[in-house]
Structure 1
Amino acid sequence: MADPAPGAAPATPAPLRLHALAYSLGVTAAVTAAARLGLADALGEEPLSVGALATAVGADEETLGQLLRALACHEVFRETEDGGYTHTEMSRLLRTDAPAGRRAMALLAGAPFAWQIWSRLDEAVRSGQSVFQDLYGKPLFAYLHQDEPELGALFDRAMAKSGETTAAAVAAALDLSGTGTVADIGGGRGTLLRTLLDRHPALNGVLFDLPQVVADADPALRTGGELADRCRLVAGDCHVGVPVKADTYLLKGVVHMWNDATAVAALRTLARNAPAGSRVVLIEQVLDATDTPEIATVMNLLMLVSQGGRERTERELRSVLTRAGLEFCSVTPTGSVVHLVEAVVPGP
């Protein structure tokens, strides 16, 4: 191994780096435990001793100290000189009142089903298929909403919170000049759509998703809400049909859940009913253009093991769109982890 540059910290030997990677599931467990215990909510603006935190969350003082020490190594909480703990930027994201919080995401990452599917990643790599249905007898979303409704609600909250961090960036980067109606396909509770309607007062919107998801749409988009007069909620399944007319169709974080054959079929179904000349904009991580490959590559594996999907390179996204009968146009960065991948529905 080469000597480190003068003044540089000694490099961690490869065996220790591999050891840390192999046991990084412990980091997932630690973050999830912190979320379940409510540590971030128990800790205010002033540092607290381990004993005070243990009393606040109903934990054993000694073992809570073990957990906090592990978290502090990853900058989730910070140990003070007197052995107490205080917040960091990341630990604040585990608070229930954090504007762009990640508590729901942390709970979801450590949910029982997540451990089960990750443990069979090698099987998914061999087969090219998700292992979820083999384990639970049905696809992920059906399982979450039918068998584990509390987990289903947690998933929806996690996706909504995640969407909040990118919605503003997407809205700023997305050119909607000439668009009268925008349809968010698979738009969840409507976080992005609400951001766009707020930003463009003359814009109309359509939120399209499964019935149980649309039923829990942002109150501002529902009947009686402040944006209801400019928004229509449509329940359906984009694999069956998208009975929605719009100038611009958005699919944010949707196509990466599908393998190529499913993605092509769904996009072809959408294009079949869309007006000629309308735009289709995929909002996705782009593997060969991301600034955060450590996130995108792990999400790539998560999509495989959970749903048989994948993150894609620009070339792969272009191929999917072209095979669906769409005319590829461009890829635009948003300043966040996602890009805008745009295509057009061709004329007759």
Structure 2
Amino acid sequence: MGDDVAADSAVAGLMELALGAARAAAVRAAVTLLLPDALGETPMKVADLAAAVGADPEALGRLLRSLAAHGVFTERGTGRYAHTPLSLALRTDTDDSLADAVLWCTEPWNWALWGDLGEAVRTGDEVFTAAYGSRFYQHLHRQWPESARVFDRAMTQQSRAAAVALADLLPLADAGSLADIGGGQGIVLVTLLRRHAGLRGYLLDLPSVIANADARLRPGGELSERVELVAGDCLVEIPARAEVYLFKNVLGVDEDSSVRILRNAVAAAPPGARMVIVENLADEGAGSRLATLMDLRMLVVTGGRKHTWAGLLGVIQRAGLTVREVRPVDATLHMIVAS
């Protein structure tokens, strides 16, 4: 009997893994239908939710049943659903929303790439170019402007979630300037500038990203007098001289490119400058399960990676730096300070 139960469990577990795309699609559907926004503070009937979002009641009931089985919503009685922490995080009207992050991970162009993961593993390189005709970032900004906007919003959402925790950890009392390299729209830099009144900042990212920087950093904004917006490519040059350089989820490229980015910062930095690297590590801490999935997505899309601890240490050493401190930021991120 025990062997039969174990075999049945293995079959069910493997089939759930094989049908993982359906789970991702269900979460995306919840966001695109705005189900978390439509559901109020008290449980609602499926029929009422269907009327609110313009969906077929029977099909919506099936979607909600599957989502509830995975912790997104919960069923209260028969055919009445209520929020869970996961579904609340998908509301679009809250500061801690992850709706755009979910959309970004499940944009329709992703699906074709996952089918070629085996090819990416065989070659060790991305499969995006073969599928769509050009490299990812070039294609994203030229051909899919709406998806690019989802990307920008998703990066802001993910940065917002970690910004306060990072501000609590990052020792900046003795620093006069900080350069946020690849900092996106600048939500982390906003948080740090607000926390440290004497700090000046640089935000460096690609021109299309800098053009959409947080309004508080742009001319006329609340923090504009204390920040310089720098349009550029950190793989080519880092034209900012600061006492602290922040690289949050920026070194997700091959090891040689990661070394080049850090060396570009070292070349621009004054003596004694600190390099603060914030990354998900694929083999360290509670967040490694998430990081391994992110790592595979980066492989198929850009040929990039989530580093292991040993791999990232090797990158830091090759850049001529020495690790001074390692601390967890939250359940998924680690902070490494090097100089």
| Class of the TM-score when normalised by the shorter of the 2 chains | over 0.9
The alignment of Structure 1 onto Structure 2 pairs a total of residues equal to 338
Aligned to 1:273: 268
Given that 2:281 and 2:287 are in contact with CA atoms closer than 8 Å, whether structure 1 keeps it comes out as no
Q: Distance in 2 between matches of 1:131 and 1:252?
A: 25
Deviation at 1:2, TM superposition (A): 6.0
Deviation at 1:10, TM superposition (A): 8.8
- TM-score, normalised to structure 1's length? 0.93
Aligned to 1:204: 200
Q: Secondary structure at the match of 2:172?
A: coil
Aligned to 2:319: 324
Aligned to 2:302: 307
Q: Secondary structure at the match of 1:255?
A: coil
Q: Structure 1, residues 50-69: CA drift from partner, whole Å, max 9, x if none?
A: 11111111111111111010
Q: Secondary structure at the match of 2:44?
A: coil
RMSD of Structure 2 on Structure 1 (CA): 1.7
Q: Distance in 1 between matches of 2:171 and 2:2?
A: 50
- Output aligned runs, 1:67-146, within 5 Å: 67-146=63-142
Q: Distance in 2 between matches of 1:261 and 1:184?
A: 21
Deviation at 1:11, TM superposition (A): 9.7
Given that 2:285 and 2:331 are in contact with CA atoms closer than 8 Å, whether structure 1 keeps it comes out as no
Aligned to 1:297: 292
Out of 236, 239, 245, the position equivalent to 1:240 is 236
Aligned to 2:281: 286
Given that 1:129 and 1:308 are in contact with CA atoms closer than 8 Å, whether structure 2 keeps it comes out as yes
Question: Which deviates more from structure 2 when the two are superposed, residues 199-208 or residues 82-91?
Answer: 82-91
Out of 22, 42, 55, the position equivalent to 1:26 is 22
Long gaps (5+) in structure 2 = none
Deviation at 1:313, TM superposition (A): 2.1
Deviation at 1:117, TM superposition (A): 1.5
Q: Distance in 2 between matches of 1:192 and 1:102?
A: 16
Tell me: CA distance 1:340–1:46, structure 2 relative to 1, closer, same or farther (3 Å): same
Given that 2:281 and 2:288 are in contact with CA atoms closer than 8 Å, whether structure 1 keeps it comes out as no
Q: Distance in 2 between matches of 1:38 and 1:29?
A: 14
Given that 1:173 and 1:333 are in contact with CA atoms closer than 8 Å, whether structure 2 keeps it comes out as no
Given that 1:166 and 1:337 are in contact with CA atoms closer than 8 Å, whether structure 2 keeps it comes out as no
Tell me: CA distance 1:126–1:90, structure 2 relative to 1, closer, same or farther (3 Å): same
Q: Amino acid of the residue matched to residue 301 of structure 2?
A: S
Q: Distance in 1 between matches of 2:275 and 2:269?
A: 9
Q: Structure 1, residues 172-214: CA drift from partner, whole Å, max 9, x if none?
A: 1111132110000000000110110111111111101111101
Deviation at 1:248, TM superposition (A): 0.4
Q: Secondary structure at the match of 1:219?
A: coil
Given that 1:250 and 1:281 are in contact with CA atoms closer than 8 Å, whether structure 2 keeps it comes out as yes
Given that 2:140 and 2:147 are in contact with CA atoms closer than 8 Å, whether structure 1 keeps it comes out as yes
Given that 2:181 and 2:245 are in contact with CA atoms closer than 8 Å, whether structure 1 keeps it comes out as yes
- Output aligned runs, 1:33-72, within 5 Å: 33-72=29-68
Deviation at 1:170, TM superposition (A): 0.8
Tell me: CA distance 1:222–1:336, structure 2 relative to 1, closer, same or farther (3 Å): farther
Question: Which deviates more from structure 2 when the two are superposed, residues 221-230 or residues 128-137?
Answer: 128-137
Percent of residue pairs identical = 45
